[in-house]
Structure 1
Amino acid sequence: MDAQSPSPVPPPGCPAHNSGGRVPLHGPEFAANPQAYYDYLRHYGPTAPVELAPGVEATLVTDYATALSLLQDSGSFRKDARRWRDLNDGKIAPDSPVAPVLAYRPNCMFSDGAEHLRLRRAVTDSMARVDSRKLNQTTERVSDYLISQFGVRGSADLLGDYAKQLPLFVFNELFGCPADIGDRVLFGITGMFDGVNADKAVEVLFGAVGELVALKRSRPGDDVASWLMQHESKLTNEEMVHQLALLLVAGNEPLRNLIGNTLHRLLTHDTYAYQGGLIDEAIDDTLWENPPMQNLAPHYPAADMEFGGQQVRAGDLMLVSFAAANTGPTLTAARKAGSNRSHLAWSAGPHACPSKDPARQITMTAIENLLNRLPDIALAVPEDSLTWRPGPFNRALATLPARFTPVQPVRRPGAANAAPVPDRHEERVEGRGRRPERAGMWSSFLTWLTK
């Protein structure tokens, strides 16, 4: 190449030569600076060869227009993970760290055609019944409860103490989980994402959701689980369990990351303090530049074809890089022209996020309530000391330490005092069955509401 067209240089620490020429999207180097990897991947063209975990190969779409083409073409690209050729050929180890995210389950995320339409309609219609005013009230109650845990200390990890827990509590209430079932749902989802005894966590989660389905069959209520069950799609018990588990799991990780990443942006960019749409603007900027799920939307070509300048085979694993597409040259002009929500953070096409409006509302309310309660909150450590969780799919901080002026616990209407909150470590131990005398997190929240 001449001096005006230099050869692209792999990002520091990129061991592509050890991955069969594929660029690895795992490890601390990628987590620390994924944009450097996306800049390098663009030299391949609209698509690039990547490795998601040792031995797990995929084609990553990094261009906005190409991503839209894939996401909107349900005839050429399918979602059913049973088509994944490398998995069927035994090339993917059963204990691969990416298997829990990509493996097939009978829900609307992994279905195509008429079956997808039936399952998705049940989900979207049920979520559409959530009253926005009630959702705000629920989020504020959960926010007040969580702040009551750490507010008197004057310091907190806004990931572990707030952003990580708030979506779980909100969804538990929206789905009408009683105390015992809700405790196990929280334990199961937390264990799955924290990697602590993940197999046991999955078993606990699906067992709890199965009990919730049985409960709602006999005693339906005014909640998403009951609405899903009453839908004209007439879901079976198995289908109910998998749709509810999908909503709980898929709704939790992106939402906690969106809350955390937006808080990170607000605490590290002084310019928002001088803008009228403080939180709204920060959410949009986060969805553009630091989306909570940076690489996902697994698809499988229905036949051998050329796509994005590369030959792909039927059953190849293909993922969309929302983060790379959002920050590519094509989107820069659209964003400057004022199209501030034309990003791909919510995906697109028939499998676009069915809950983006509630997710945005929960994020807005959670952050607004936190800033109102703790107006002088600030980052407690230098920004460059923060670390990001490794992995090819999500974009999430490991911790977000903050400091603020201590505040007294919120007094609920009719309450003499805010109820004391159990230590988080002891709750986790109880969740594993070692201290049955301790109440779980959801039980403690329900008790706090009625004190």
Structure 2
Amino acid sequence: MTLRYLPDAGRLYGPEYARDPQALYAELRGRHGAVAPVEIAPGIEAHLVLGYRAALDVLTNVGGVWSKHPSAWQARLPDTPEAAGAIAMLGRRPSALYSDGAEHARFRKVIADCFQQIQPHKLRQMVIEVSDSLISQFAAKGEADLVAEFTRLIPTRIFNLLFGRPDSDSAGLTQALSDLMEADGERGARGSDAFSRYIGELIQAKHAERGDDLTSWFIDHPAALRTDELAETLVLVTAASYEPMANLISNTISRMVSDDRYYSSLTNGALSTYDALMEALRAEPAMSNYGPYFVLQPVHFHGTWIQPAELVLVSYAAANTEPANVPEELRSDGGAYLGFGAGPHRCPASDPAVLIAMTAIERLTSHLCDLELTVPRDELPWRPGPFHRALAQLPVRFTPIRPDQPGESPWAVQPPSSSTPSAPTSPARSAGYVTSAPWSS
């Protein structure tokens, strides 16, 4: 059974949308107002919340009218490859993203409690070491694709270590996620299998021997997650770190190196890395349309009737840039952006995310202080897709740095060892990146 047809739906896919999503948001806003009909893939329809006030009404009122449970919507989808792709991103899982009320509070407390145990100064040192080791691999060339060589590698390297695995395991995780995110068919299936294997081996290792790491803390938390809940929590944390963080770092860098307000030579601009990051969160949030919601009964919401089992997505990108509510000038204080969501499902790890992104960007720009794009920013290629705002490439050039030249270089700090044995003992523990959880015996 299919859902009712939503007339005049905008398409959140294809090259035209990828080039200029804001043009579509403006067109939809002009035709429909705060809520518009869209297709996220051929034949897969949704309501897209475009207005800032409407977005807040959804995000902050879960439990009365709104629910996160996708089961009824999922059951009514057609048996098509497009539907299978939508289910992969939005289908029911036992995790914080797809639960309400007490169930959601239980999942969220596990994540929030465990992330609070990470010491910020130790996390920053970890990011410095990982960033410098990546920069050292291309600094002597004078050019790089920062997406492939830097920004998409940062999250997997960092979270592999935070999960309590040796740095040598991060390459496999990066490849698995790349295959899973970038392709369907055989390559996508291979990535899915490899990612499932990584999660399974991680859980097995940490059940065998704990360390001072996120995985061990998830296992030992008083909420007592079942094995399937633990696996889904690790999947959620990985997914929430990989794609959004890589995109946030890429989008921020692309703004900095193409806007003289941030720098003329990356060292004398009037605005800071934090300013650029906040502007990226507002104008080009890494996950532009997500936050799946469903109504519990028919609702007339901001001028649109929404029925149970119809998918509702929040457009953070459209809401943040709505002309009537969010000023167009730079909001250096973070202002009214919804880059991390709002309400009970707001990202519980936004502070570590900002710290990781800022530290990685600052290491890059301090070592390579004359970065410039090799093409104009409006010609950069963007990856198609309804959910993310993601650069496909970020080609830059810069003055090469040699390892034997005077002064500080990316080789000044030793990177995490890639030869660490793949053992249950956490490398993060020995390095002192985290501190013992308050519920630890």
- Determine whether 1:80 maps to 2:69: yes
Answer whether contact 2:278 2:331 (CA < 8 A) is retained.
no
**Cα RMSD for the two superposed structures:** 2.6
Specify the alignment match of 2:161 in structure 1.
173
- Determine whether 1:152 maps to 2:140: yes
1:40 & 1:64 partners in 2: Cα distance?
A: 16
Answer whether contact 1:118 1:233 (CA < 8 A) is retained.
yes
Specify the alignment match of 1:429 in structure 2.
none
Answer whether contact 2:146 2:394 (CA < 8 A) is retained.
yes
Greater RCO structure (CA 8 Å; 6+ sep): 2
- Show the 5 A alignment for 1:26-105: 26-43=13-30, 44-74=32-62, 75-84=64-73, 87-91=74-78, 93-96=80-83, 97-105=85-93
**What secondary structure is seen at the aligned counterpart in 2 of 1:260?**
helix
AA aligned to 1:108 is A
AA aligned to 1:114 is A
Answer whether contact 1:154 1:405 (CA < 8 A) is retained.
yes
Bigger mean CA offset, 338-347 vs 57-66: 338-347
- Determine whether 1:305 maps to 2:295: no
Specify the alignment match of 2:311 in structure 1.
317
- Show the 5 A alignment for 1:32-431: 32-43=19-30, 44-74=32-62, 75-84=64-73, 87-91=74-78, 93-96=80-83, 97-178=85-166, 181-195=169-183, 197-273=187-263, 274-333=268-327, 340-409=334-403, 410-411=410-411
AA aligned to 1:298 is P
AA aligned to 1:60 is L
Answer whether contact 1:56 1:92 (CA < 8 A) is retained.
no
2:200 & 2:358 partners in 1: Cα distance?
A: 32
2:353 & 2:295 partners in 1: Cα distance?
A: 30
Which is helix-richer, 1 or 2? 1
Normalising by the residue count of structure 2, what TM-score does the alignment of the two structures yield?
A: 0.86
- Cα deviation, residue 90, structure 1: 3.6
Percent identical across equivalent pairs?
37
1:151 & 1:420 partners in 2: Cα distance?
A: 19
* Structure 1: stretches of 5+ with no match in the other structure: 1-17, 422-438
* Structure 2: stretches of 5+ with no match in the other structure: 404-409, 432-441
- Determine whether 1:22 maps to 2:15: no
1:142 & 1:337 partners in 2: Cα distance?
A: 30
- Cα deviation, residue 275, structure 1: 4.1
**What secondary structure is seen at the aligned counterpart in 1 of 2:324?**
helix
Answer whether contact 2:36 2:47 (CA < 8 A) is retained.
yes
2:394 & 2:6 partners in 1: Cα distance?
A: 32
Cα distance, 1:90–1:241 mapped onto 2, change above 3 Å: same
**What secondary structure is seen at the aligned counterpart in 1 of 2:290?**
strand
Answer whether contact 1:25 1:51 (CA < 8 A) is retained.
yes
**What secondary structure is seen at the aligned counterpart in 1 of 2:361?**
helix
* Cα offsets for 1:177-227 (capped at 9, x unmatched): 135654432222121122261122122112211111121112111111111
- Cα deviation, residue 319, structure 1: 0.4
Normalising by the residue count of structure 1, what TM-score does the alignment of the two structures yield?
A: 0.84
Bigger mean CA offset, 206-215 vs 119-128: 206-215
Bigger mean CA offset, 178-187 vs 317-326: 178-187
AA aligned to 2:121 is R
* Cα offsets for 1:1-48 (capped at 9, x unmatched): xxxxxxxxxxxxxxxxx9852111110011111111111111211100
1:336 & 1:369 partners in 2: Cα distance?
A: 24
**What secondary structure is seen at the aligned counterpart in 2 of 1:299?**
strand
Aligned residue pairs total: 404
- Cα deviation, residue 93, structure 1: 2.1
AA aligned to 2:363 is N
1:19 & 1:106 partners in 2: Cα distance?
A: 30
2:240 & 2:363 partners in 1: Cα distance?
A: 24
